[in-house]
A and B are shown apart, each in its own frame.
Chain A
């Protein structure tokens, strides 16, 4: 393994996250089995008090997961110097077979964590802890995922050996290779452009609709279009946005745009995109519980606010993409 501060920090964060969640697991079992809001027994009081501790603890773990994702990509990009043939994060992640699964696991954990935090948030707003059982059941479900993510990360870092010849991003995202990433980047720019703008429009329209109307079905539509919007947005970044930013018709790398050479433009894309998707998913998730009596007054407010956030973030993202495409000197499509 490479003895490197950022790697130690990442493993520390992931490891302590899993540890804290594992500590919370027995308590979660107790809540699921023994929770009884009507009882005034000492045990119930103890459980109620402990929920405060574990909610805070988990909010902390989830928040640190969000920061860890940023550090992970940042670090992968920086490590590229250490590997022959690697020029950016793609090369570093390709050094062994654990790199990309590890990144995908991190992104999945990011969205799951954000959804859990939304559920936790609406639960604390209601008077009678209506979601406490569901919350802790979800927590038990999250534990293996987090542990899996930690294991993947550990495998990835343990098997990082400097000097392995990895493929540079130019060869991975070229049209000939047969991976999903290559499929996405192999899309011709014109259909990709249409697909991108249609799905962004759908996501923006759905979140605008929900923000204004607040109906249940529009919330689910927002979640659906945010999720599909995330997928097409990533495909769009691979297939044409990166080309316009690099002003090079064959460079599809989604990581190099984060570099200072390209004015850190990637952050203008990824931060709004991730925020928008998380907020959109959150809007849908909260509406699942809208029928509970104690949440009836809480959920519409929260989900509309989340839809508003998703709307703003999708607008920023689409605006940034359009600006990068229009201001680029590259001509991909003839008019």
Chain B
């Protein structure tokens, strides 16, 4: 064992020295390799961070949301629904929610209006999300007018702007009292937009949804786990699409690696010839060349992942943002929580190191079987 380790150590020593002798060629390859790892790693780190952000945000949302459907469209929930649902066992808390969208021609953006109980917000006051406040230049104490869909003008006083920490959720949010909400949108009394339910036992969620479906055939229960699953597959899908687009790059890189490995210079050929003449075996040359590939791979992989980490978590993944994040006029500003995932790293290894090593195998062998005397004579 000791002997074996010793042998590998000397091989590595020799390989490093021989790599250093051909700096320009190897640095070129290393840079291309690192760039590939960097691009793929940025993509994976960024989607994973978005995915965990979504999961984190959804963790505190209600387990079930019930909507009423009329002719396949989302409609208002009539007053007696709350009472009828109240009899389902297992439902811990239930709340009718009032929310809607409002189009603001000033910003060409949609706001989300949501009613809060009157204890939290006095009539005539609103709380606004951070992105909205930024875009419209609002601060606490200002007044703002919105023209409702019926044509009437409503003026509100800004009581507070919501904390920037919640910007991912509250970028375009306007919170107002229930009375104001009903008046502004001319909502029929007792009706709600939808119903949010919390269920104590997570394993009961599907049963409760089934019961609701039976009890109120025109309702549509939306489960939190379904939303989570949708996000999950959405991000996976986006990641997969970008990856497919980049498949060409991986292939091009494999071809480059093949070319670089098979285009041995006369000097390198002489080196191998001499090594064989002084007693190295073919398998030793293969081992040395494999070490060379492995060392380059490890350096490029670590360098690329590190650069991607800095790119995603310190510079907000400027390269991939437009494809992966989605867009909106009032887009929230948020900082991603740095998370690195083992599965992603192994997958990345399969997408970069695996094709590289596969591509250089044949050239390595070609170099190793060369006859010492033909090479040295040439």
Residues of the A chain whose Cβ atoms lie less than 8 Å from the Cβ of B286: 52, 56
Report whether A64 and B206 are in contact in the complex, using a CB–CB cutoff of 8 Å: no
B239-283: CB near A (< 8 Å → 1, else 0) gives 111010000000000000000000000000000000000000011
Q: In whole angstroms, how far apart are the Cα atoms of A82 and B229 in the complex?
A: 5
Residues of the A chain whose Cβ atoms lie less than 8 Å from the Cβ of B343: 6, 71, 74-75, 78
Given contacts A5-B240, A60-B361, A71-B346, contact A162 B368 (CB under 8 A): no
Q: Does B319 contact A (CB under 8 A)?
A: no
Interface residues of A in 140-159 (CB under 8 A from B): none
A1-37: CB near B (< 8 Å → 1, else 0) gives 0111110111011001000100000000000000000
Interface size on A, residues (CB 8 A): 33
Q: In whole angstroms, how far apart are the Cα atoms of A3 and B238 in the complex?
A: 9
Q: Does B350 contact A (CB under 8 A)?
A: yes
Residues of the B chain whose Cβ atoms lie less than 8 Å from the Cβ of A8: 240, 243
Q: Tell me which of B80-88, B158-166, B351-359 binds A.
A: B351-359
Residues of the B chain whose Cβ atoms lie less than 8 Å from the Cβ of A70: 346
Report whether A60 and B347 are in contact in the complex, using a CB–CB cutoff of 8 Å: no
Closest A residue to B289 by beta carbon equals A56
Residues of the A chain whose Cβ atoms lie less than 8 Å from the Cβ of B342: 74
Of the candidates A5, A10, A57, A81, the one whose C-beta lies within 8 Å of that of B232 is A81
Given contacts A2-B233, A56-B365, contact A81 B357 (CB under 8 A): no
Closest B residue to A6 by beta carbon equals B347
Report whether A53 and B240 are in contact in the complex, using a CB–CB cutoff of 8 Å: no
Q: Does A195 contact B (CB under 8 A)?
A: no
Distance (whole angstroms) from the CB of B98 to the closest CB of chain A: 30
Q: In whole angstroms, how far apart are the Cα atoms of A74 and B345 in the complex?
A: 11
Report whether B229 and A162 are in contact in the complex, using a CB–CB cutoff of 8 Å: yes
Interface residues of A in 62-90 (CB under 8 A from B): 64, 67-68, 70-71, 74-75, 78, 81-82, 84
Q: Which of A5, A9, A64, A81 has the most CB of B within 10 A?
A: A5
A196-227: CB near B (< 8 Å → 1, else 0) gives 00000000000000000000000000000000
Q: In whole angstroms, how far apart are the Cα atoms of A2 and B239 in the complex?
A: 12
Residues of the B chain whose Cβ atoms lie less than 8 Å from the Cβ of A60: 357-358, 361
Closest B residue to A165 by beta carbon equals B206
Report whether A9 and B347 are in contact in the complex, using a CB–CB cutoff of 8 Å: yes
Q: In whole angstroms, how far apart are the Cα atoms of A70 and B282 in the complex?
A: 32
Q: Does B290 contact A (CB under 8 A)?
A: yes
Distance (whole angstroms) from the CB of A72 to the closest CB of chain B: 10
Report whether A64 and B354 are in contact in the complex, using a CB–CB cutoff of 8 Å: yes
Q: In whole angstroms, how far apart are the Cα atoms of A173 and B239 in the complex?
A: 34
Report whether B241 and A3 are in contact in the complex, using a CB–CB cutoff of 8 Å: yes
Q: Does B236 contact A (CB under 8 A)?
A: yes
20 A-B pairs, CB-CB below 8 angstroms?
A2-B233, A2-B236, A5-B344, A8-B240, A8-B243, A9-B347, A12-B351, A16-B358, A49-B282, A53-B362, A56-B286, A56-B290, A56-B361, A57-B361, A71-B343, A71-B347, A74-B346, A81-B232, A82-B229, A84-B206
Sample of 7 further A-B pairs with CB below 8 A, known A52-B283, A84-B225: A4-B239, A9-B350, A52-B282, A74-B346, A81-B228, A162-B229, A163-B229
Q: Which residues of B contact A (CB under 8 A)?
A: 1, 44, 206, 225, 228-229, 232-233, 236-237, 239-241, 243, 282-283, 286, 290, 342-344, 346-347, 349-351, 354, 357-358, 361-362, 364-365, 368-369
Q: Which residues of A contact B (CB under 8 A)?
A: 2-6, 8-10, 12-13, 16, 20, 49, 52-53, 56-57, 60, 64, 67-68, 70-71, 74-75, 78, 81-82, 84, 124, 162-163, 305
